[in-house]
Structure 1
Amino acid sequence: MSAEAADREAATSSRPCTPPQTSWFEFVLEEALLEQHLQKPSPDPPPVQLIVQFLEQASKPSVNEQNQVQPPPDNKRNRILKLLALKVAAHLKWDLDVLEKSLSVPVLNMLLNELLCISKVPPGTKHVDVDLSSLPPTTAMAILLYNRWAIRTIVQSSFPVKQVKPGPPQLNVMNQIQQEKELTENILKVLKEQAADSILVLEGALKLNKDLYVHTIRTLDLLAMEPGMVNGETESSTAGLKISAEEIQCQVCYDLGAIYFQQGSTNAAVHEKAKEKFFRTKELIAKNGSSSLHFTIDEERLAGYCQACEVLTSSSDDASQRATPYSQIHSCMKSGKYQDLVKIFLEDNLTLSLPEQFRQSVLRELFQKAQQGNDALDEVCFKVCVCNTVCDVLQGRIIDIQFCQLFLKPSKEKIDFLLEVCQGSINLENASEELKRKMAAFLKNLCLGMEDLQFVFMISSHELFIKLLKDDERKLLIDQMRKRSPRINLCTKPVTSFYDIPASASVNIGQLEHQLILSVDPWRIRQILIELHGMTSERQFWMISNKWEVPNVYGNVILGIKDSLTRDLVYILMAKGLHCCAIKDFVHAKQLFAACLELVTEFSPKLRQVMLNEMLLLDIYTHEAGAGVSGERPPSDLISRVRGYLEMRVPDIPLRQVIAEECVAFLLNWCETEYLTMQVPLPLVQTNPYVKLGQLLAATCKELPGPKESRRTAKDLWEVVVQICSVSNQHKRGNDGRVSLIKHRESTLGIMYRSELLSFIKKLREPLVLTTILSLFVKLHNVREDIVNDIAAEHISIWPSSIPNLQSVDFEAVAITVKELVSYALTINANNHFWLIIQADIYFATNQYSAALHYYLQAGAVCSDFFNKMVPPDVYTDQVIKRMIKCCSLLNCHTQVAILCQFLREVDYKTAFKALQEQNSHDAMDSYYEYIWDVTILEYLTYLHHKRGETDKRQIAIKAIGQTELNASNPEEVLQLAAQRRKKKFLQAMAKLYF
């Protein structure tokens, strides 16, 4: 034996042996085995699986000598199997919650019918005609069990169920699933027809004031014995499991309440009956508890039913109305008495009976009503939001952003109401220390967040604030607030001389530093720094705030300034200017940069050029955020300055990469293609990657739409981008001696990193430039070998169709880039139909079919005035229509598939007919027939419904085909007009569905 074989044998022998699963036929052969198996802690197979196996074997059809399929024979074997299934159910104490959760409707139906049969209920007898009081206890209980299950199944079938996504198609499995589905639907149909009888049976059971018995394994054994072997024990004896009359009433009331509540959706009066049953269930639970050996009631669900019934039914009992906040809130919202809502929410802040989600949903509804033009609700929204916020504070939850937004501009009235809510939401005598701490922290943080001392004083002098905060805590808070308040008169007049501003020695360093952080006035900053340097020469004041950030390329030059005051001033002015620029406060940024430029001009040509570069970037930002938004071209001097920056050759000037980026993007956005392609100096193209990329983009766009002429520049651009998206492969030898391949995602093979390219593209706004770069990335995405669904784009034919070394391209990064670029492009123009088609194709390729349909429809809508005009054929190409057909098919919207098949240049009858044959359709089906204009499809529909015996649907199809405008004898113009009208209505209907 080889060493490898010996290892394998040793490993196998060392594994613990799993005991074999007991087969169903072993229980048939050995009578006592079932009880022994069920007594195990974790029996394998579990009880519910045994029920399925026993009934499945007992219901197998037989084949006679003529090879004809016969119903299952009523022989001893099948009777034993059915009895075994009943015994397992008896072991589970006939708990419908357990049985319904694990067994399908057909299996449970068969099991309960066997129970009725063995309990001596005559087959074919209507349960409503039977007097339950005259029946043996186990027989009456069997009838009750069956009818309870019937109405529970009806209720359960009304709930929406998420469909399980099918796996790989297997014919036998699919047939079994379809058969079980049809069988379930047939059973449900019968149960719904008999629902009224089942309700009457259960209502009659409520009048029974006696205990009943349910079959156990022992009673089932007794019934299976021959009459001479029962030893005097009869079916009506007390050998079964006793169920008290109150337990039966509790469960029956709950089940009746559920069916009445479900029927209330079509008959509001039935809600009263549901309410009566649910409240009776509540009383019985309060008396006996919610659990028994036979059943368990979900008390949370019952409470939800009770609350819903209270809201849905009008009660004359005013005390009851006052006792339930839900009904009060519902009444206020319905009647428009919104002011009363505030009182309800305030009272609930003490009781905390309303869940957080319910409070938020009411507030959302109020906000929606306010946005629809009801200005009077603004105050109510604020007050309800305050009540919710105080409730969140007391329960330790995070304060909602809506409160912060509403409190951006506080007023005396708002603060008065907030303090009223805080005081009304906490009982200081009985409140815990934790609640007091939470409320105190909230009020304290509120004070620290306010700038107006008048409002702070209103809070700090309030009775609740004084009681919650200790003297030393209040004193410390007031000191903090005083330090924040400005004590110096700000200098509003510009000072022409730099060192002539007198320092004020009466202000301490901490206050001055605080003012230095807050100020954006360059002259005030200068004054504060002079005062601070007059007080101490040991500190470096440019370091007092970690928010002051200057790029490293500038920082090294600025920190080399010898004079400490000048160094601090230059650093702070630049840092504040950059911050203002980042938050789009361009006015203050310009003032700060101008002051800094004036200062550095006196002693540093290098820093002077730095500031001129930063002011150029600021002017670009200012124009793009202002006049550029409306399409106004930038002034010629700004364009000249941008060109001058790109051509600048001053040595040793620290440069920020973002400025070159913005300059090239600026020229592309304003179509300065002539400069980028013809006039830009060659050394600049060779040294600046952004200029090179911009030149290639401009040249490619300039020569569009002539694909032959632009192939050269397009190929150059393609090669540059492919190199950027390539990964560098390295080999590494591991400890085991094997060589592994390492891929570096961010490769330095290209002229820039992919992240830098993406950042640059997101600065572009010119549609043709964006379309070109997007087209390139789409083509690069489609080149990969394992691609299943290509993405379509404009000008895609200008790019090369292959890459020499496919393995070197990081296609995962390319796919991510395509998604990001399309999303960005749609923020620039959400109505570009070609970009919308690309977005739809991406969703289609990633199997997000509903989202794909949304964007396909949006692309058609934006270029056809919401389908009132004909969608251009270059938008809805055959490929797009086929993808829409596939989306609808995979969403099980088969009627939509058939209608879309008409949109193709050659109608796809095969696909349309196959779709119409599907009965499991999730769309409006026959409501869509009015949108069909192809007579052949309508004729097939008529034949199909006739074959299925669907008379109503057949009549709808006949009505659609009988319209005179579809007559084949009509002129072509009439037929085209009829088709166009139906296309328009269908696409508008689809848009309403998917938008």
Structure 2
Amino acid sequence: MDVDLLRPGTVPISPDTILWFEFLLSEDLLLKHLEKQFPDPLPTELISKFTSVVFESANNEIKRIDLENGDSKDNNVYDDQPKYSLRHLALKILSLKVAAYIKWNLDLLKVLPFKFQLTVLQDLMFFANNQIIIEIPNIPEYDNLSILPQPYLFALTLYHRWVLRIAVNYIFSNQMKMYGNSDASSLEESFIRSTENIQRSLYFLIEALNWENVPSLLTFDCFTMLTEDNTEIRNDWTHALPLSKEEFSAQITYDLAVFYFFKENYEMATSYFTSCAQFFKNVVDKTGFLSVDWNELQGYLLACNTTMEGTNNLLQQLHISIANQYMGILNTLQQDNSHKKIPMSYRISLELDIRGALSSGKFTVARDLLPKIQALNAVRCILDQVSVYHYDINLNNIDTFIWAVSPTLKICNESDKERIQSFLIQLLLKQKTPEILNKLIQDDTLSGLTKKVVEKLSTTLYSKPVLPDLLLGTPKETFECNNLRNPRLEVRSLEQQIILCYDPMELRQLLVKITARNGSRSVMRINPCWELPIPLQSVLVAMPKGFLQDFSFILLAKSRELMLSKNWSLSLELLETLKAEIHVGTGNVIPKLNRLISWEVLLIQMNQFLEEWPAPNLDKKELAQKCEACLQPGESVLPRTEIMEYCALCLLSLGHWDFLASLEKRWSYFEIASTIATACQDLMKYKGNKKLSRDLWDLVLPVFGSSPLQSKRSSSGSTSVIHRDSPTTSTKTQLISFFLKLRETTVLTVVISMLARLHNVLRDESSLELSVDYIILWPAVVSNANSYNSKAVLEVLTEILTKALYYYPTNISWMRLMGDINFVNGHHEESLNYYLKSLLISTDNFSLPTRNDDHIIRRMIKSCSTLNCHTQAAILCQFLEEPDYTSAFHNLAEQKLCSDATDAYYHCFWDTSILEYLVTLHHKRAEYQRRKHAIQVMGLLELNSNNNEEIQHEASNLRKNIFLRALCKQYVH
């Protein structure tokens, strides 16, 4: 750092150091600094320092500006206006010149503290409006904006753009309140919460789009420096750069669009984003006022499901249609047959994807969707004259082909028409069927071309009279050869159709056909992959042989297949069809089967609830009632084990802990759900101030023991045995299976904290302990710890935590725990990834101060050192409550071995003791340039020590966040 931004002091400093008042003595000094390739400090840091001096000395200034010597003609009117000292005015002008140099870029200015941003905008209005002070947000309303000075109009525009920007930024900071990390000042919150302020800014900017003459861009030279000979404010607005209407409108529409986008008004956002794109493309000479990134604009448009290319970007339309469940896909493919923009490989892949999804039952679409796509693809292949696509036209699909080819024929060129004509010739030669010819002639678009084809065939290709008569539609008797079929092949064909079909009505018809041809073969053997749970199999076997038995088996098997592929709606549809079918049936097993089907319906709903968590479209109250009814004793038909286990899981995630805790523990899978529910009750009741029940601890601990059969003692004192065939707790695999289905945050918190504590106790190494919320609520000792496997505990914890972060990706405590796990496993780069992500979230992308957390900072130091990044490790030593000088000096001594760039990090040191060590170290190594750099930084810090604590604290936080951002670029992925 080569600039001191505050004031001269009594401490000797380097002769190369520039003091703030030197900018006033030399007009070119500030511009020379800003024009450096890598100015240090950055422009925003200069503004922050200049403004902080004004804040610090505001109450101590005595000298006032003499308005009598100024150029204001209305001194009598504005005598009550606050007066600034010459020193304050000089600093304010410096800040505005820097802001003008960066083209008033609000994306850059937002890194300033809120009150500094407010000050810069207020100062701009002061100088742009003839030195009249206007307090933000109490800006006067003007009936006629055209009478205002152009510089002041620019200042108002910038201010109202800024209001929308901070409103958008506040949306993110407001989300951080869930974690207690929102540090927005009361001034900022009251300002943003004012709906009136935001509405006024919206009205202003919308009206600005209708201005005939837009304001000019205020530049660096517009603001004149004060000198000792001239203390009069004389800004030169003639240096302002004219803005084109397109550039001005592009920036305003972008600001409006982003605001509406984050307010979730996507219709307005789409409109303004589209307008912004049009203005953007029409901008010729850019002044720098427009700070819109083209790629970012494209991303916003894609998020709004639109494109800048309109209807011509057919490939983009294809992707959007696929994302929207193939909505509008036919229209896109139809247009592409004329424009030929989508590669044929994409279209064939699309067809195969739909065919595969339909055959597996993953989703349902209109019956004619696939045939129409096939026909459209056939037309495209005809036009491209490629043979990679096979499409067999017959009486069943000729109507679809005509539908596909007719719109293209209307607008295609002559060469495409010739290609279609050649195809029709080959078609009529291959399919010598009058019906196909009649359908082609009857179509208004194809009739003319078809007649030409017939004439060509009759005059050049055929001499026999029968062929023209046939092609002209003359009724002729044709010889039909009896196609002798193999009955076994017919049965196999029907079986294959049953396997691929998921429509209940078609399945019924196919089953009737196959029964008529082969009544002895059971449909239960058609597909070896069809397996039903034993209770269902037993009931079906007990049913009389016949259609109902076979139909029940097929629908149950296919429903389970669809459930496993997560096609919930179709799976439920098959079961509802079966319930309606057996409702009219007779026999002793029908009521039992009906009840079992109800349990299967519940199982599908529970799977959907857990897989689509938090499943907003499901009725949670009704689901909880069904689960409780399933687990209540007294049912004549008992649900099978899998269903009862899912009921317990759902009730845990639905928060019905009282029911589970009081449930009679008839089976072991009830026991683990009950113990988790009890722990959740304790956690919510005592708010983490009391040890949790040991029942879950005692139940889980034996799973990680070396013996396959271990006894455990519950809190009640009774001893039970966990067997190897226990549904949920006998093996590590079964335990993981149960825990991975947990969804609710409190339930996951209990399980994760318990496993983390268990790992710490079994491993018993303080340097490798895991840290997470509520970990101290579990037991601190385990008898005979050597007989348990701590690695297995860590494996289970890792799997559960990975799943938990999938559903709650911004949970800071779990993210840090994942960093701890990677640290324990020696994956230091991955641990840094998670530690930095947690800091990134907790500080809202480092816009808020970083809270001290010695636990993760020490581990980040160790990880950086292990990765041979010693400079980074030394800098992190300053982040601790008490800086670790021993570790810092050790890492700095290893600098010659380190893989990180040393010089780039000098501005991140703020501890003078570490800098003194650096000076000595570089002197010993004869690294005089680095020694000089370290002395400069140390001298600046000594000067800055005269600042008050608040300014020093803000400076320290700024340095921390700058450094952490640099680390994120390297480690976060």
The answer to which structure, 1 or 2, has the higher relative contact order (CA under 8 A, 6+ apart) is 2
Say which one has the larger Rg.
1
Query: With structure 2 as the length reference, what TM-score do the two structures score?
Result: 0.49
